[in-house]
Structure 1
Amino acid sequence: MRTLLIQCAQAVADNDVRSANELLKQIRWHSSPFGDKHQRLSHCFAYGLESRLLGTGSPLYAALAAKNMSDVRILKAYKLFISAFPFMKTSNFFATQMILEVTNKANRVHIIHFGISHGFQWLPLVQHLSKRPGGPPKLHITGIDHPNPGFRPAARFRCLLDDTILENSPRDAVLNLIKRINPVIFIHGIENGTYNSPFLVLRFREALFHFSALFDMFEANVPREDPDRMVFERDIFGNEVLNVIACEGSERTERPETYKQWQARHLRAGFRQLPLNQEIMKKITAKVKLYYHKEFFVDENSQWMLQGWKGRAILALSCWKPA
C-alpha cells in the first residue's frame, strides 16, 4: 500500500491526472477509516492526494481547521491522546520541574507561555509553589497563542512560516523576541519532523513515515472502535496530512523541523543551551516505563529530551538562556 501511495503522489506531482485517479481507485479499495492502522493511514493520505488533485485542499483545510478547534468532539479526542500517551504529561512534568529548580528562591515568577491553550498544564506548578516553605512567590502567567489555537503547544512553532517563504523567518523573529525578554530559562518543546520539503513527493514520503508511527501508536494502545480515536485520526491527523499534501506556499502551515535544525536556530539567535537535569530525566524515564506501553521511550541527544515510539523521536524538549 505504501508503494501505491508514493506512486500516486508522484503522479499528482507530475500532473498525470489519469494515472493518479487510477491509483487512487486502487488505494480506496484497500483503505478505510474504520479498518486497521494501514487502512486508516491509507485513507487519510488518499484524501489529501484527492484534495490536491481537485484543487480543494487550501479552502477545505481552512474550513475544517476553523470548525474543529471549537468542537467538543475534538476536546474529547485530545483527552484520549493525553491519557493514552505519555508525551503531554511528561513534557509538562519536565517544564514544571525545571521552572521549580531555577525559581526556588525567587520572590516573583513570571511565565510567558507561547501556545498556552487553556493553561491547565500549570496547575501542578501552582500547587507546588503554594506549598513552598516561607510562602509562595508572586506568580504571573502570560499566555500567547496562535490565531488558530489547538491543544498541542509544540505545534505552534511548527506552524510558523520558515525561510523558504519569507526572507526574514518568523521562527527566528520569535527567538529574537524571546532573547530580548531575557528569561532565566527558555524551555522549548517541538514536534520532531522531517516533512517540510518544498518538493511534494519527498514531503509526502517523509510524512508517510512519520504518520505511520502515529497510527501504529494508536493501534497498539487504543481499541479500533473507540470513537475518540477515530475523531483524532480523522480530524487532527487528517487535517494535518491534508495541509502537508494539498497546500502550498503560505497556506501550507504544517512545517515541522527536527530538533537538530532548531538547535542550529537557537545557537544562531544567541542562546546558550542548558544541560538536562539527570534526576528529572530518571523520574520521567521511570514513569514512562512503569505506566505506558514498552515501545514508548525517553532518550536524550545533544541535551534534548526525546520522546517517541519504536525508535522514532516524535517530541523533543530542551532548555536555553540568552548567551
Structure 2
Amino acid sequence: MAAKETSENSPKGQSKAPAQQKLRGTRQLKKEVVDLRTLLIHCAQAVAADDRLLAGELIKKIRQHSSRDGEWCQRLAFYFVNGLEARLAGTGSQLFHKMRAKQVSYEDMLKVYNFYLAVCPFHRASQTFANQTISEASVGQSKVHIVDFGVCSAFQWPSLIQRFGEQGMPPRLRITDIIEVPRPGFNPLESIEWAGKLLADYANMYKVPFQYQGIYSRYEDIQIEDLNIEEDEMLIIHCMYRMKNLGDETVAMDSARDRVLKIMRRMNPKVFIVGILNGSYSSPFFLTRFKELLFHYSSMFDMLDMNAPRDNEERKVLEGGMLGRDMLNIIACEGADRIERPETYQQWRARCLKAGFEQLPLDPAIMKSVLWMKKEFYHEDFVADEDSGWLLQGWKGRVLYALSKWKVNGSCADQ
C-alpha cells in the first residue's frame, strides 16, 4: 500500500548534506510514511496488547497520511484507523449502532445500487445466476413462490418479472420477503409497502399474476406456517449475501446459521439459491481477523479506485456508509455485537451438506453469460471461475463472492 508522498520545497542551497545522506533520509521517510499496511498492522498489534502510548502514536501517524478522498490505500486506512481508535477507546459498539441507525432514502439506495452495478459485475452476475436458475426450474409450473431471505430492496426482481412476462404464459408469482428484525432507523412496514408497490407495478406492466408479502423476524425464529406455502406451488429459496450476519459457533454452539439452514430444508424447496461473501475474517482472534480483513478490503478499495472517480458521491456513500460501517463492526466490536462474520465458500459448502442439502451443478450457460458480461462491460482484472459447483467472482485473483444452488437431499433423514 502506498500513499502519495508529500515534499517540501526548500530554498536553493539551504542544505549541504551529501547526496547519499539525502537519499538515505528519503528512503527512511518513505519506509516510515508510505507503508500504510505495515503501520495498520503494527497499530492493531499495539491495540491488541493495550499499549495505549504506542497505539496512540501510530493512530496519529496513520491519520496524517490517510484520507477519505485520496487514493484507495489512503481511503482504506482512513476507515481502518477509525475502527482501531474505537476499539482502543471501547466505543465500537456505540458508534456502530449509531451508524446503523442512520436512515438512507430509497432514492440514495437506488443510486448506490446502480453505481455498484456499473463499476463491478458482482451483483449483476448474482442476478443472472438467480434469475436463470429460477426460470429453468419454473418451466411448466403454474405457480412459483420465491421466499427471499433478503433486505427488502426489491431491486432483484423486476428483471425476473419481465422474463416471466415475455414467456407468453407466465406462472402466478409470489414473493415473500423475510426481513431481519427491525433496527433503529428502519421502518419495516414502510419498506414492505414500497417493495410491494414497485413489484406490483412491474407485474402489471408485464401481465404477470403477482402477490407479495413481507415478514420481519430473526431468520432463526421464522415460523414456516407464516409463509403460507401452498402444496401446488413450486418453492424456491433465495438468499444473497445475508448469511454472514447470522451467529456462528463462537456465539452459540448450536449456531444460528446451522439452525436457519435446517429451517430452509424443512421448507422443502425445489431449489435453494445462495450467495455468500467469501471471507476468512470471522476469526475470534483479533489480529488474525484484522490481517484477513486488511487483505479483503484492500481488494475492494483497489477495485473501486480502478473503476470509479475519486470524487464520485455514490462511491463515497458506499465506502463510508456501508463498507466503513462493516469494517468498524469487524474491528471494534466483539461478542454478539460483531454481526459481520463471513466464512469461505468451502465452509458454507460443508454447512449446506450437513443441513441435508445436495449441491446442484453449475449450469455452463450461466457461466458463459457471466464471462461474456465481464468481458464486454467490466475491467479485465475482474475474475470469474468455477470450483466444486460454485461460481466464484473476484478481483485480481482474490475470491470475494461465491454463488451456488442446492436441492433437498432426499436420502437424508428429516432434519
Same fold by TM-score, threshold 0.5 exceeded? yes
Question: Which moves more between the two structures, 46-55 or 111-120?
Answer: 111-120
How far did residue 78 of structure 1 move?
A: 3.1
Q: Cα deviations across residues 278-316 of structure 1 (Å, max 9, x unaligned)?
A: 012111111111111111111110100011111111111
How far did residue 123 of structure 1 move?
A: 1.3
1:10 counterpart = 2:96 = no
- The root-mean-square deviation of aligned C-alpha atoms, in Å, is 1.6
In the superposition, the TM-score normalised over structure 2's length comes to 0.75
Question: Which moves more between the two structures, 259-268 or 77-86?
Answer: 77-86
**In structure 2, what residue type is equivalent to 1:6?**
I
1:144 counterpart = 2:178 = yes
**Correspondent of 2:261 among 175, 183, 199:** 175
- How many Å separate the matches in 2 of 1:73 and 1:125? 23
Question: Which moves more between the two structures, 209-218 or 67-76?
Answer: 67-76
Alignment of 1:11-160 (within 5 A): 11-70=46-105, 73-133=108-168, 135-147=169-181, 148=183, 154-160=240-246
Who is 1:266 aligned against? Answer: 352
Match of 2:157, SS state, is helix
How far did residue 73 of structure 1 move?
A: 4.2
Match of 2:257, SS state, is helix
- How many Å separate the matches in 2 of 1:75 and 1:200? 34
Alignment of 1:121-270 (within 5 A): 121-133=156-168, 135-147=169-181, 148=183, 154-270=240-356
Q: Cα deviations across residues 202-258 of structure 1 (Å, max 9, x unaligned)?
A: 111000000000000110000111122112111111111100010000000010000
Determine if contact 1:273/1:303 at 8 Å carries over to the other structure.
yes
Unaligned runs of 5+ in 2: 1-35, 192-238, 410-415
Q: Cα deviations across residues 138-160 of structure 1 (Å, max 9, x unaligned)?
A: 1111111223579xx63421111
* Larger RCO, structures 1/2 (Cα 8 Å, 6+ apart): 1
- How many Å separate the matches in 2 of 1:211 and 1:111? 32
- How many Å separate the matches in 1 of 2:92 and 2:107? 24
Determine if contact 2:59/2:81 at 8 Å carries over to the other structure.
yes
Determine if contact 1:115/1:145 at 8 Å carries over to the other structure.
yes
How far did residue 117 of structure 1 move?
A: 2.2
- How many Å separate the matches in 1 of 2:271 and 2:334? 35
Q: Which runs of 4+ in 1 moved over 4 A?
A: 68-75
Match of 1:120, SS state, is coil
Who is 2:218 aligned against? Answer: none
Determine if contact 2:149/2:240 at 8 Å carries over to the other structure.
no
Match of 2:340, SS state, is coil
In structure 2, relative to structure 1, the CA distance for the partners of 1:321 and 1:75 (3 Å cut) is: same
Match of 2:339, SS state, is coil
**In structure 2, what residue type is equivalent to 1:25?**
K
Determine if contact 2:357/2:406 at 8 Å carries over to the other structure.
yes
In the superposition, the TM-score normalised over structure 1's length comes to 0.95
In structure 2, relative to structure 1, the CA distance for the partners of 1:71 and 1:208 (3 Å cut) is: farther
- How many Å separate the matches in 1 of 2:392 and 2:309? 26
How far did residue 178 of structure 1 move?
A: 0.7
**In structure 2, what residue type is equivalent to 1:251?**
D
Determine if contact 1:68/1:74 at 8 Å carries over to the other structure.
no
Determine if contact 1:146/1:156 at 8 Å carries over to the other structure.
no
Identity of aligned residues (%): 48
How far did residue 47 of structure 1 move?
A: 0.5
- How many Å separate the matches in 2 of 1:78 and 1:317? 19
- How many Å separate the matches in 2 of 1:117 and 1:92? 15
- How many Å separate the matches in 1 of 2:112 and 2:38? 30
- How many Å separate the matches in 2 of 1:60 and 1:204? 18
Determine if contact 2:112/2:317 at 8 Å carries over to the other structure.
yes
How far did residue 262 of structure 1 move?
A: 0.1
Aligned length: 320
**In structure 2, what residue type is equivalent to 1:173?**
R
Determine if contact 1:52/1:247 at 8 Å carries over to the other structure.
yes
- How many Å separate the matches in 1 of 2:87 and 2:247? 20
Determine if contact 1:74/1:231 at 8 Å carries over to the other structure.
no
Match of 2:399, SS state, is strand
In structure 2, relative to structure 1, the CA distance for the partners of 1:145 and 1:44 (3 Å cut) is: same
